[in-house]
Amino acid sequence: MKPDTHPDYHMITVQMTDGTTFQTRSTWGSEGDTLVLDIDPTSHPAWTGGNQRLVNEGGRVAQFNKRFGGLTLKKG
């Protein structure tokens, strides 16, 4: 392995949005720095389930069914 080709890998502290912290190894910052997160799994809607909407709510098939869903073919 060539010397000086890899970044420094050291311990940092990560602070979540709710104030909890944990230590991990990273190449971010320098030894002992604290990485403060703005968004994390405890607050982001993608993980918490907030702001959900149905995928087919505004799709073409849903629009068609909303407009013509009550029509039927009658034999006369």
pLDDT at position 26:
96
Each residue of 16-72: pLDDT tens digit?
A: 999 999 999 999 999 999 999 998 888 887 777 766 555 546 678 878 888 888 777
pLDDT at position 54:
55
pTM (two decimals): 0.57
Number of residues written out for the chain: 76
Answer whether 24's CB lies under 8 Å from 14's CB.
yes
pLDDT at position 55:
55
The residues, ordered by sequence, that sit 6+ positions from 15 with a Cβ below 8 Å of its Cβ are 21, 34, 35, 36, 37
pLDDT at position 52:
57
